[in-house]
Amino acid sequence: MEIITIRDEFIKLGQAMKLAGLVESGVEAKVEIQEGYVKVNGEVELQRGKKLYPGDVIEFDGQQVKVEN
């Protein structure tokens, strides 16, 4: 499982996906999220602006990324 570190209280899902290298751009993140291919903490998430906090886990394309601070 990959780990991304944030400095703020939260990070938005689309930004976290870019930071982790799961997608190349915000547009790509938007499409993948809206198509239902992204899970947060085991549940499909359809909001690109979903706030992620330390401890949250993103799942996409067979990869898992945990948010930490």
pLDDT value for 31: 97
Give the pLDDT confidence score for residue 8 in this predicted structure.
Answer: 94
- Label residue 27 exposed, middle or buried (CB < 10 Å: 0-12, 13-18, 19+): exposed
Domain coordinates in residue numbering, the chain: 2-68
pLDDT tens-digit series, residues 11-69? 999 999 999 999 999 999 999 999 999 999 999 999 999 999 999 999 999 999 999 99
Q: Is 2-68 CATH 3.30.2090.10?
A: no
Angstrom distance (rounded) from CA 53 to CA 39: 14
